[in-house]
Amino acid sequence: MSDDREINRCTGTGTSLDAQLGPPLRPPQDGDPDARAALISDVYEPLLGGGHALLDTLTTYLEQGSSLEATARLLFVHPNTVRYRLRRVAELTDYTPSAGRDGFTLWVAVALGRLAAKRS
């Protein structure tokens, strides 16, 4: 007995499994290309222009759950240096790393920027 007929027998329907499930799902998309480009140009590129120390501080800060002290320890700098660099991030991008939604936006922008750099 074929698989479809076995399923039909178990479900009590006379339709095939494909007909029951509907059309196949489309593969996931890469998202809105305009939004992706805006995050890269408006957030990631200014961070790169600020220097790698700024980008390293931001990513470490976000990875450490927004802990200034943990970030400072990992980067071997004073916590005031971390504060200064995060203030520079906010000045360059208009996003405050310590604000939840802004921090997430910065994280996504950094991820997209790094992926775009690897693709080219």
Each residue's pLDDT expressed in tens, for the chain with a length of 120 residues: 455 555 455 555 555 555 655 666 555 556 788 889 999 999 999 999 999 999 999 999 999 999 999 999 999 999 999 999 999 999 999 999 999 999 999 999 999 999 988 887
What domains appear along the chain, each with residue ranges and CATH number?
Answer: 30-119 (1.10.10.2840)
Asked whether the beta carbons of 69 and 79 are under 8 A apart, the reply is: yes
What lies within 8 Å, CB to CB, of 61 at 6+ separation is 67, 68, 71, 82, 86, 97
Q: What is this structure's pTM?
A: 0.73
- Dmax over Cα atoms in the chain, in whole Å? 72
How far from 20 is each of 7, 9, 28, CA to CA, in Å?
A: 11, 14, 22
